[in-house]
Chains A and B, each alone.
Chain A
Amino acid sequence: MAKFSRRSFLKTSVALGAASTTTNAMFLSNALAADTVKVGVLHSLTGTIAIAEAAVIDGEKLAIEEINASGGVLGKKIEAIIEDGASDNPTFAEKAKKLLDQDKVAAIFGCYTSASRKAVLPIVEKSKGLLYYPTYYEGLEQSPNILYTAQEATQSVIPSVNWLAANKGKSFYLIGSDYIWPRTTNKIAKPTIAKAGGTVVGEDYFPLGHIDFGSVINKIKASKPAVILSTIVGGSNVAFYKQLKASGIDMKNITVLALAVSEEEVSGIGAESIEGVLTCMGYFQSLPEPANQKFVKAFKAKYGANRVTGDTISSAYTAVYLWKLAVEKAKSFDPDKVIAASANLEFDGPEGKVHFHASNHHLWKHCRIGQFLANGQVKILFDSGLIEPNPFPKI
């Protein structure tokens, strides 16, 4: 047993004193913490979807940083709690639960695939939370606790088909990856094509990640469509455009419009393979609006000059600002009040002025069609103006 000396007594009391000071300091920082408001950021940082999804966080982080720099929301700084959904839907659900129940976040900005959103949906509804969803998707959903800030299917496919039928030709070949978004999109596309006086000469779906498109390219050669409407997503795109380019099809007579390729994916596809292909999105980096110029400049300054913005990044950035505006309008962080205040709420952001629908939780958005240039950027050919969201189209 150690002897109890005067010296060790002194040491102990000094340590105790130090400990009590730390407790005070902790107490203080807790008091300071009341000056921040927590929000959750929930995307895949690892796994297969991370390729596309990880960059979305950059849009959200940029908006949060800008808002904090200009004084925060209702006088509080935003504190982002970033969680990794790991491209795994049960993980998304678990992390959403953690963010809502344990961290008590005021809102979650998150999800990318529809499957991950469907996994999170029952949890935000049960905890009466609030989720901002930034990806273009197939529609057919309207949760009381989710606000959707990207295009739903009717906002992209209907104007695209009408524009193509009027400008490029009336025979369509539909090709897509095999899951809910491409199939729903084409379900909307087909009656729209018929209404525009066009015909569908072929329709094909391939498993996600499929890499051999030789057969479908031969089918395209045989059926000679004027337009190929592509809903291929992810890595398959690379194979499709590389093989299409090598196939010897005379692309002067065929227009390809991709509904799921933004500037971001181009670096993987190779700009030389996708040059000339059309794309339809709500936002392009090349939009001339001053608000967008500012956004692109800030994005590049923060993440590097070689990075590009894209539709989902812009929608995610917009989502954070829409939340800020709604909170200020409601003068409360309470999700119910924020959702109520969001109706008709307007934000002038990178993609121009957009505003929420009066009741259906989706944004009035632009549909823009552009053409990929050799540098991977997009030349804008068409802008529809604001289109009313209609997540449950009658077809």
Chain B
Amino acid sequence: MTSDILIMQAFNGLSQFTILVLMALGLSIAYGLMGVINMAHGELMAMGAYATYVTATIFENYFPGAFDQYIFFGIILAFIVTFVFGLLLEKTLIQALYKRPLDTLLATWGVSLFTQQLFRQIFGPKELSVPTVSWLNGAMNFGGDINLPINRIFIVSLAICVTFGVYLILFKTRWGLRIRAVTQNRAMADAAGIDSSRVDAFTFAFSCGLAGIAGSAFTMLASTSPVAGQQYLVDSFIVVVFGGVESLFGTVASSFLISQEQAIFEFLMSGSMAKALMLGIVITVLYFRPSGLFSTKVRH
């Protein structure tokens, strides 16, 4: 294994990390704040992907000149659509189920099946390919044999920006302060005059919006189908549990670890074995640290 390959493989791990972290952050925020296990998170990702597809189709037909820029509008639209959907979902369904994790599990699973069928009705059961804009095609050469795909560089940058944005929102804004206050102690936050139900609604919608962005990025790598989100949902849950639910840093770190692990094993053995070994490690770690790698110590 030459050093070129090593670099490319490390980058590959990094790019696997990106979509995973976008998905897992949303899940983790929703669970940490509201105790909602959102089984429909995968479908929100698919919704983001379809929103990107619709944007691409609109640009192709009405603004062919600006087609190369559609992806930015696609990402924004994906965020808006999933954000609004999340807000509606929270107001109509989730609100009634706070702190009843098992019920939210079932209810959101129902939502997941419902949205899958909705996608089938609207877009058909077949996979759709979202055309990649020309400047994202191909690879960039970094000297020697190091070629890194441009679309993955784009996704990595996008994920870094979004993660940083999430950090800013949570730790540098009034909204973030309120979210953190409600997460830590809902009763006290209420007493201090924070409208916790508004905070809940906004936060849940925001976590859905993150899944939408993940879906938009996803279209650059693979095809969009009604069940596209399922693949990532399981992995994202593993990441959240592995990192310790309720810890955002844990989520970021564990998605980084898991994707690098996966990339290394995939290089050394066949893909199926790599996945099995990765799951084996996760199980072993959770056996010794049941609340995850980076769990914050809390008294219950």
Residues of A participating in the B interface, judged by any CB pair closer than 8 Å? 46, 48, 50-51, 54, 178, 203-207, 209-212, 214-216, 218-219, 221-222, 235, 238-239, 242-243, 245-249, 267-270, 272-273
Contact = CB atoms under 8 A, between A and B. Distances in A.
Interface in B182-239: 220-223, 225, 227-228, 231
A243 B152 CA distance: 9
B103 interface: no
14 contacts: A46-B125, A178-B270, A207-B271, A215-B267, A215-B271, A221-B5, A238-B129, A239-B221, A239-B222, A242-B221, A243-B149, A267-B126, A268-B127, A268-B128
B12 A215 contact: yes
Interface residues of B, number: 45
The 6 closest A-B CB pairs, nearest first, are A248-B139, A248-B147, A270-B129, A268-B127, A238-B223, A215-B266
B270 A207 contact: no
B270 A203 contact: yes
A33 B234 CA distance: 52
B270 A48 contact: no
B82 interface: no
A267 B129 contact: yes
A205 B276 CA distance: 12
From DSSP, what is the main secondary structure of chain B's interface residues? mixed
A246 B152 CA distance: 9
Given A50-B125, A178-B271, A268-B127, A247 B223 contact: no
B166 interface: no
B223 A215 contact: no
Contacts of A249: 147
Given A209-B231, A222-B5, A214 B271 contact: no
A1 B175 CA distance: 74
Contacts of A210: 231, 271
A209 B16 CA distance: 15
Interface in B132-149: 132, 136-141, 145, 147-149
B86 to A, nearest CB: 24
Nearest to B273: A205
B15 interface: yes
B163 interface: no
A204 B127 contact: no
A249 B272 CA distance: 24
From DSSP, what is the main secondary structure of chain A's interface residues? helix
A211 B222 contact: yes
Contacts of B221: 211-212, 239, 242-243
A51 B8 contact: no
A51 B272 contact: no
A238 B152 CA distance: 16
Contacts of A207: 271-272, 275
B126 A239 contact: no
Contacts of B147: 221, 247-249
Given A51-B127, A267-B129, A268-B127, A246 B139 contact: yes
Nearest to B151: A246
A218 B222 CA distance: 17
Nearest to A265: B127
A221 B223 contact: no
A50 B226 CA distance: 12
B126 A268 contact: yes
Interface string B1-29: 11001001100100110000000000000
B222 A238 contact: yes
B137 A235 contact: no
A188 B211 CA distance: 43
A211 B5 contact: no
Contact of A51 (B151, B220, B225, B274): B225
A242 B275 contact: no
A214 B2 contact: no
Contacts of B139: 246-248
Contacts of A219: 267
B50 to A, nearest CB: 14
A178 B272 CA distance: 7
